[in-house]
A = this chain, B = another copy of it.
Amino acid sequence: MTDTYNRSGASPPKSKTGVPEDRSSSAGSKIVEPTYEGDFVLDGSLPLECGHSLVCPTLHYAVYGRLNAARDNAVLICHALSGSALVGSWWPEIFAPGAVLSLEHDFVICINMLGSCYGSTGPGAVNPETGQSYGPDFPLVSVRDNVRAQARLLDSLGIRRLRLVLGASIGGMQALDWTILYPDRMERALVIGVTPLSAMGLALNHLQRQAILHDPEWSGGRYLPQRPPRRGLALARQIGMISYKSAPLFDERFGRNPNRTGEDPWAADGKCGGLTGGRFDIAGYLDYQGQRFIERFDANAYLAILRAMDTWDPLRGYASPQEAFGRIEARLSFVGISSDWLFPAEEVRRFAEAILQAGARVDYREMKSDHGHDAFLAEQAELVRLLQ
């Protein structure tokens, strides 16, 4: 998810300054460097909900600030689909002085999800049992599986209890699962812009998955690293992008303008004859986002995390909402984003309400933004204000 749009040769009237990675749009906000970034290898195997297990998986993580002697100042941040452990790079404003976190007092940990391509074990990693990379055999690693693995990493750091666990999108799914699976291990939890995926959300993920699976270069998931399914992944990203943004934002930024590179949508002939013309600006933007994404993300990792997102259901395995949500001890805050149509604010509010009714301490706040789901990245300063 990204807000950055600064194509070379273009003069974007309303876009923000580009950053090398398009995970943040916070023009001017400086990247926060981690105190430490490294790998934790789980001892033995990680049993998975699907029945399989991962043998000695690696969790790549980053920490910011210092753990105090009492080990009671830890905060866990869970990243979204295409994020990494480097939360200081994609969410720098959350560290703003006087904001949600304080690097003077807090010890912030962010752990790359299993299935990802940013250091933790994913489809591109070597399966120690076969000596080959997992590829399409990478098992379903659910959100819960991730949370259980994260708990083992915290154990190894001697962190029994978190001051706060927070995340947006699939990061929020992890944060909520933390409160249910380990109710006595955190004081507060903050869940931003998320509910279990609706039918429309599942539809959007299905379309993205199809885009990758239809690319002949995908080769059943056994593509060579130098020959990945670029077009399929780029199209998947483009489909994702329309769900991360909002129609009003697109209208304001792009409207019906021809692509800023000077193409003519009314041209008699485009690259493919009369059936295509020059692009509109929104099309140029989406193509650009697709191209940026394939430089930094892996198609199988994308599929792995889509699946974790699709299958997330915090009630699964519990007899009732009361049995699941009644476990929660943390003070829980939800944030809905007014223009989010992937996870509509009203749905987030209702989800929070259902958890409240099951007996948990829950509050709900709404972030007013035209940025859609992406607002948690695109308008970090606003988010921070709301959370104070």
Contacts and interface: CB of A to CB of B under 8 A. Distances in A.
A235 interface: yes
Given A207-B242, A268-B139, A276 B199 contact: no
Interface stretch (A55-63, A208-216, A359-367): A208-216
Interface stretch (A33-41, A84-92, A253-261, A320-328): A253-261
A146 to B, nearest CB: 15
A211 B209 contact: no
A334 interface: no
A196 B265 CA distance: 14
B140 A268 contact: yes
A137 B270 CA distance: 10
Interface string A252-293: 011110000000011111001111110111110010000000
A316 B51 CA distance: 61
A307 B276 contact: yes
A202 B258 CA distance: 11
A274 B207 contact: no
A273 B214 contact: no
A139 B267 CA distance: 10
B210 A135 contact: no
A115 B64 CA distance: 59
A310 B281 CA distance: 12
A313 B265 CA distance: 12
Contacts of A274: 50, 52, 134, 136-140, 304
Contacts of A279: 206
B50 A203 contact: no
Contact of A235 (B210, B242, B275): B210
Contacts of A135: 273
Contacts of A297: none
B203 A286 contact: yes
Given A207-B239, A283-B206, A276 B213 contact: yes
Given A272-B221, A273-B221, A214 B231 contact: yes
A1 to B, nearest CB: 15
B136 A265 contact: no
17 contacts: A50-B266, A50-B268, A50-B274, A123-B275, A198-B250, A198-B256, A200-B251, A202-B282, A203-B242, A203-B282, A207-B239, A214-B232, A214-B235, A266-B316, A274-B304, A275-B303, A280-B310
Given A206-B283, A221-B275, 4 more contacts: A123-B275, A207-B242, A214-B232, A265-B311
Instruction: For the complex of A and B, list the 10 residue pairs with the smallest distance between their C-beta atoms, beginning with the closest.
Output: A136-B273, A199-B250, A206-B283, A200-B247, A139-B274, A50-B268, A275-B303, A199-B254, A199-B282, A214-B231
